[in-house]
Structure 1
Amino acid sequence: MTPRPSTCRSAEPADDELARGLAAGDEASLAVAYRRWSALVHTLAWRSLGDAGEAEDVTQQVFLGVWRGRHGYRPERGAIGAWIVGIARHRIADALSARTRRADLVASAGTALPLTGPGRDDPEAALDRVLLRTELARLPAPQQRVLRLTFYEDLTQTQIAERTGLPLGTVKSHTRRGLGRLRGRLGEEGRT
């Protein structure tokens, strides 16, 4: 019985040919590299992270890194498979660091902010509160003050003007500018 062409390994290029194809921007070479090493990368990530979903994300990041960094591969430094495993090790370390940062933020949210209400067991909500508090602290003092009075004391803009002695138009301007800055900064966080 003859093997089917799709399972025949001899049709795939050798590592040095594959490296040249990648450097030349050949997407077929990337597909071959993915077929050849994705299972290994996924296994390394899964064993290190203990989460199949994160392992899949890391695997995708690794091969995106292979494609973007293909011009940086130097055959004299080692085999292309070793280079890919090196990229995987860095991505796994990044994922573990990000996990630690998230856990630290959630832990600090639990001690710094009282978790009350229906979302008290939701770590994502706690993380959102920490991020919002951090970004609010970065605003200029007048905008910070107006937004804190608005959201934490539930005051209207007229009430804020009366309490602070600021003209109503100034309160409205601080509110608009402060919310715009928060929206911009928190929008950037969501894209990273």
Structure 2
Amino acid sequence: MNSASDEDLAHGFAGGDESCLSEAYRRWGALVFTVAARELGDPEEAKDVAQQVFVGAWRGRENYDVQRGSLKTWLMGITHKKVADQLARRARHMRDIEAAVAAAGPDLPQRDGAADSVLDFVLLADELEKLPVQQRTVLKMAFYEELTQEQIARRTSLPLGTVKSHTRRGLIRMRNRLEVDGGAHG
């Protein structure tokens, strides 16, 4: 298949020839990844998007019309759509985090106040210890070391999106536990 013309490759792809999927990935996989990485700024997200592009293209190959454009152009169109979808998910996720932090903020002692009382500080530390390991690690780095999510991602080698997810879930879990237990003393 390596010597096939782009047109032959496109026809084979549209017809369901799996070797054409492999060849399309060989020819344009790096381009799809590069475009996604440039737009997203995160290589891990770009890998996911590149995989989504080729899986989506293969599953939706009946929508590809060889007469309307090249396979490369069609794949790049899918790439731009998947990148836009990922950016929209990221924006929604950031809004969720901001809402969770805003909702949890008044209930959680801040570092500067280190808690109004020793009891509040102990309750906070106790709730942190009840979190799953990754959520606990991320929140401890944020609370005690005052690191940003980007700094935490670099230090832990976790994707930024994963750090944000752990932060959000941990804060929500702590807020809910403190509300239920009446743990936040005012």
Q: TM-score, normalised by structure 1?
A: 0.59
The letter of the residue matching 1:101 is R
Between the aligned partners of 1:101 and 1:70, the Cα distance in structure 2 is 30
Q: Which has the higher contact order (CA 8 A, sep 6+)?
A: 2
Q: What's the secondary structure of 1:74's corresponding residue?
A: coil
Q: TM-score, normalised by structure 2?
A: 0.61
Are residues 37 and 109 of structure 1, via their aligned partners in 2, closer, same or farther at CA, if it must alter by over 3 Å? Answer: same
Are residues 108 and 26 of structure 1, via their aligned partners in 2, closer, same or farther at CA, if it must alter by over 3 Å? Answer: same
Offset, 1:24: 2.1
State the partner residue of 1:47: 38
Between the aligned partners of 2:3 and 2:15, the Cα distance in structure 1 is 17
Identity %: 39
Instruction: Note if contact 2:36-2:46 (Cα within 8 Å) is conserved in structure 1.
Output: yes
Counterpart among 29, 36, 42 of residue 20 in structure 2: 29
Q: What's the secondary structure of 2:53's corresponding residue?
A: helix
State the partner residue of 2:165: 124
Q: Runs of 5+ in structure 1 lacking a partner?
A: 1-9, 133-147, 155-192
Deviations 1:139-161 (A, max 9, x none): xxxxxxxxx89x8148xxxxxxx
The letter of the residue matching 1:152 is V
Give the length in aligned residue pairs. 131
Runs of 4+ in 1 over 2 A off after TM superposition: 114-132
Between the aligned partners of 1:77 and 1:97, the Cα distance in structure 2 is 28
Matches within 5 A, 1:104-115: 104-114=95-105, 115=108
| Match status 1:90 vs 2:94 | no
Offset, 1:125: 4.3
Offset, 1:14: 1.2
Pair member with larger Rg: 1
Q: Runs of 5+ in structure 2 lacking a partner?
A: 110-123, 129-135, 143-162
RMSD: 2.8
State the partner residue of 2:145: none
